[in-house]
Amino acid sequence: MDKKTSDGAYWEAWQTSFMNEAFTTLRRFTSIPFLPEKMERVRKGVTPRETIYEEDRLKVYHYIGEGEPRFKTPLCFVFALVNRPYIMDLKEGRSIVANYVKAGFDTYLIDWGTPTRAERFLTTDDYVNGYLLNVVEHLRERHGSDQVNLLGYCMGGTLSTMFTAIHQDLVKNLVLLATGIDFSTREGLINLWTDPRYFDVDKFVDTMGNIPAEFLQSAFLMLKPIANLVEKPINLMENIHRDEFVDDYLHMETWLNDNIPVPGEVYREFAKYLFQQNLLTKNRMPLGRHIVDLRKITCPLLNLMARNDDLVPCAQSEPLNDLVSSTDKEKIIWPAGHIGLAVSGRAQKELWPRAVDWLVQRTD
Amino acid sequence: MNDNMNKGFDQVAAFQKLWTDSFANMASVWSQFSPASPPSDEVRKMRGGMLKVLAETWDEYMRTPQFMEMMKGSLNGALDLKRMARDGMNRVHEQFETPSKEDIDGVLLAIRHVERRLLDRLEGLDDRVANLDEKIDKVDQRIAKQENAIERREQTSKTKAEKPAATTGAEHSPSI
């Protein structure tokens, strides 16, 4: 091709690109006025449910499937204390709960509720050997079952692990997602920021009482400030004309901005005993009158981790498989982030059917 | 005073390093600009590269002791301010003889301690009941064993009593 022809093709490509970008930008701007309407359509949880147990601020939801459940042993989801649990049932096609309900499990989810000043002195022992134990006993009675299956996510996974170590006879199978166990790693920023040289947790909790939701949210945003504060809004503007993108974005942002306070004493114990002293892996974590010994866990274990997790790096979760006494244990490291592990399209299509199948083979 | 100044200078130096590193790395991203590709794609590529560089340098900076010292200083300062404000409010409440948040916390703590003591006692009772159950089970098992043993002895003596009676009957039968 001679220079004139190549120059012509080059300018044509530029002109086409400009025209396309101009039209796309116009579509973007015309989509903006419809955002408030789309925001109003966001629902918190999609699978039909009923509340079957309440205690103080805690509620337990039972998810209703289309047919009768196939399995006698119920499955209980245990989420973290820092966010609302509807991330497990975010929207159609992005719901872990729906996967298990469709597979025939009688599925329950614990909503810890929003703590007030009255809850500021609740400890981890109250949650594990109090609330969680009461829920498990209630489910056992409801189903006439000796045991339950537990699925814990993030801090909920840590609570479920402690529960299983103390009450192994009540747990049939344990599934964990992005669960922090070994806090000796310095990969995650939170591990660095809670170093006792830089963070006086006693002063913090004694002054603040419950840990405010705004503090936790700021800390999570600061883990990836450029991605959260710059890239995200840019991405939104670039894709605001795509309905599916906007729907996913709004659902995620609704949940991400729906933090709740954490009871002060629970925060103190997690910061001191786990992040600073790493007592769980040493089998010295005090929980009321118990000492958590991970070697007492003997049930089948499925440990799911996210390779690109900046909140709970794999190095925090992986060691659990070597610390328990279970003979049937498996770990899967999935290429996703902390939330993507649960709700990304690829995880929903490929990971969760595997995880469901794992539990199907081990429950009755 | 000198220590604080040195700390301050260290923090400023670390923050300055963040920006100089960012600009240096971004320059290498700009150098990859290729005029042959459509401008919107090139702009997106450059923007993505620049944001990636910024993200990496910020991550590195947030791991430095200087950043963590700065965060520690600002958090402690905020906590001290909150404490001062709270103490001030407590004094005002005290003067007006109205309950303050501290008083409410005190009541909550007292309730919590009572609850804890009750729960500990109940758990203690639970353990004692469980121990008693165990002991009763063991006693039940011993009684059952002994009852079985007595039954077997009775069976044996019954069988022995019946055997001699049968033998005597055969000796005294009249011959035909």
Express each pLDDT in A16-27 by its tens digit: 888 888 888 898
Is B62 close to A209, i.e. CB distance below 8 A?
A: no
From the list B40, B79, B101, the residue facing A17 with the nearest CB is B40
**Which tens digit of pLDDT belongs to each residue from A99-122?**
999 999 999 999 999 999 889 999
Calculated CA dihedral for residues B81, B84, B86, B90, nearest 10 degrees: -170
Overall average pLDDT of the A282-293 stretch? 95
* Residue A317 backbone dihedrals phi, psi, to 5 degrees: -100, -40
- Mean pLDDT comparison of A29-43, A262-276, B22-36, B41-55, highest-scoring range: A262-276
Residues of A with Cβ-Cβ distance to B105 under 8 angstroms = 117, 120, 209
Residues 6+ apart with CB under 8 A from A38: A246, A247, A250
pLDDT in the model for residue B22: 76
pLDDT, residue A254, reads 92
Q: A226–B55: do the CB atoms touch at under 8 Å?
A: yes
A154 is catalytic: yes
β-pairing, A148-153 with A107-111? unpaired
Q: Which residues of chain A make contact with B101, given a CB cutoff of 8 A?
A: 117
For residues A151 and A178, the answer to whether their CB atoms sit within 8 Å is no
Asked if A121's CB is within 8 angstroms of B108's CB, the reply is: yes
Q: How confident is the model at residue B141 (pLDDT cuts 50, 70, 90)?
A: very high
**Least confident stretch, A150-164, A259-273, B92-106:** B92-106
Q: Specify whether the CB–CB gap between A131 and A55 falls below 8 A.
A: yes
Burial of A122 (0-12, 13-18, 19+ CB in 10 A): buried
CA distance A338 to A177: 9
Q: Do B104 and A117 touch (CB under 8 A)?
A: yes
The set of residues, in sequence order, having a beta carbon less than 8 Å from that of A172 and lying 6+ positions away, is A73, A147, A148, A149, A299, A300, A362, A363
When CB atoms are compared, the residue of B40, B54, B83 closest to A207 is B83
Give yes or no for a contact between A48 and A64, defined as CB atoms under 8 angstroms apart: yes
- A158 pLDDT higher than 90: yes
Confidence of residue B162 (pLDDT cuts 50, 70, 90): confident
Judged against a pLDDT cut of 80, whether residue B175 lies above it is answered with no
Higher pLDDT, B171 or B19: B19
pLDDT class for B7, splitting at 50, 70, 90?
confident
Return the residue of A nearest to B52 by Cα. A226
A193/B36 touch (CB, cutoff 8 Å), yes or no: no
Residues within 8 A of B (CB atoms), A 208-247 only: 208-209, 222, 224-227, 230-231, 234
**Structure confidence at residue A81 (pLDDT):** 95
Q: Is residue B172 scored above 80 in pLDDT?
A: no
Q: Which of A131-135, A252-256, B21-25, B41-45 has the lowest mean pLDDT?
A: B21-25
Query: Which of A302-316, B23-37, B87-101 is predicted with the least confidence, judged by mean pLDDT?
Result: B23-37
Task: Give mean pLDDT, residues B127-135.
Answer: 93
pLDDT at A312: 94
Active-site residue identified among A111, A125, A182, A309: A309
| DSSP states of A152-210 | EETHHHHHHHHHHHH-GGGEEEEEEES----TT--SSHHHHHT-TTT--HHHHHHHHSS
Write the ipTM. 0.81
Confidence of residue B173 (pLDDT cuts 50, 70, 90): very low
The Cα of A216 is separated from the nearest Cα of chain B by a number of Å equal to: 13
* Helix and strand totals (H; E) in chain B: 4, 0
Does residue B137 have a pLDDT over 60? yes
pLDDT, tens digit (0-9, with 9 covering 90-100), for A198-241 = 999 999 999 999 999 999 999 999 999 999 999 999 999 999 99
Count of positions (residues) in chain A: 364
pLDDT in tens, A161-198: 999 999 999 999 999 999 999 999 888 899 999 999 99
Q: Judge whether residue B100 has pLDDT over 70.
A: yes
**B105/B123 Cα distance (integer angstroms):** 26
**Residue B171, pLDDT above cutoff 70:** no
Across the interface, whether the CB atoms of A226 and B38 are under 8 A apart is answered no
Residue B6's pLDDT band, with cuts at 50, 70 and 90, is: confident
- The segment with the largest mean pLDDT, out of A24-28, A41-45, A97-101, is A97-101
Lowest-confidence region among A94-108, A297-311, B103-117: B103-117
- Calculate how close chain A gets to B141, using CA atoms only, in Å: 25
What global pTM score does this model have? 0.85
* Residue percentage of chain B with pLDDT more than 90: 41
Mean pLDDT over the full length of chain A: 93
Distance in Å, alpha carbon of A230 to nearest chain B alpha carbon: 8
